[in-house]
Copies of this chain bind each other. A is one copy, B any other.
């Protein structure tokens, strides 16, 4: 059995509108996308909160993917709701409405059985809560963390306190520049690596990913797709594929990190092909490996 991954984040209802269709109150949230993606590689243990309006049928998704939901707490109130819209370029969501509901007072309690998880992913929540989660865990081998412009701008000191205890920071290019207060991405990455993380993974949407890992840099394009319907969850799906592949490999070599980046990119490429979790929930491992091989073909060239 490979090592298990603890994920803390949101489970939500998403209402989405893209130029290609819309969906109302479908299952979403950072921890949901992460869990489903990671489940193809490793055991996942979920910590999140939902309200009393959360229907049992949604639990089926987690059960189907063998995600441990002992840490999914149900409390009185309504589940977190997010409403967003994408334009034709599908690059950035315009948030139309956010109702934190039960997520507003979420204080993640890590179940005893989860505390020895070796791999931890801190989804995008209050940086103080992220740190508090880490304090509840025994001796994690790899801790990865997401955050967003909202926290970087509003609570930069809290973000820096948290990432000082994190191995891998996974954010987008705008957030990288903002956190480092530096326009040049390579310089910004160096500044962030000096804040604590040994690895910085910069997500660039349709342009792919850059990983700064010590003095080494790895770059991969995104998988070029003819049909992109809904980018919701792509970042968390990427993180899920990445962490899943790491836990599955069971080592922290650069070789494994690089392959993790590609597995993350593979999962994200499936995510965006259909609405919500649709494509992610009916994948086979063969399809994943086949797209990995296509990634190899996409990027391969011969030595000088």
B-facing residues in A164-222 (Cβ within 8 Å): 183-187, 190, 204, 206-208, 210, 216-221
Q: Is the CB of B226 within 8 A of A297?
A: no
Asked if A304 is at the interface of the complex by the 8 Å CB criterion, the answer is: yes
A292: Cβ under 8 A from any B Cβ? yes
Interface positions of A from 23 to 77, Cβ below 8 Å from B? none
Contact residues of A between 249 and 304, Cβ < 8 Å to B: 255, 258-259, 261-262, 289, 292-293, 296-304
Q: How far is the CB of A183 from chain B (nearest CB, A)?
A: 5
Q: Footprint of B on A, CB under 8 Å?
A: 88-89, 183-187, 190, 204, 206-208, 210, 216-221, 224-228, 255, 258-259, 261-262, 289, 292-293, 296-304
Complex-state Cα separation, A190 to B224, whole angstroms: 12
Q: A228-B184, A258-B301 are in contact. Are A220 and B221 (CB under 8 A)?
A: yes
Give Cα A255 to B300, complex, Å. Answer: 9
- A293 close to B298 (CB less than 8 A): no
Q: Are B255 and A220 in contact (CB under 8 A)?
A: no
Closest to A189 in B: B224
Q: Write out the residue numbers on chain B whose beta carbons fall within 8 Å of the beta carbon of A221.
A: 208, 210, 219-221
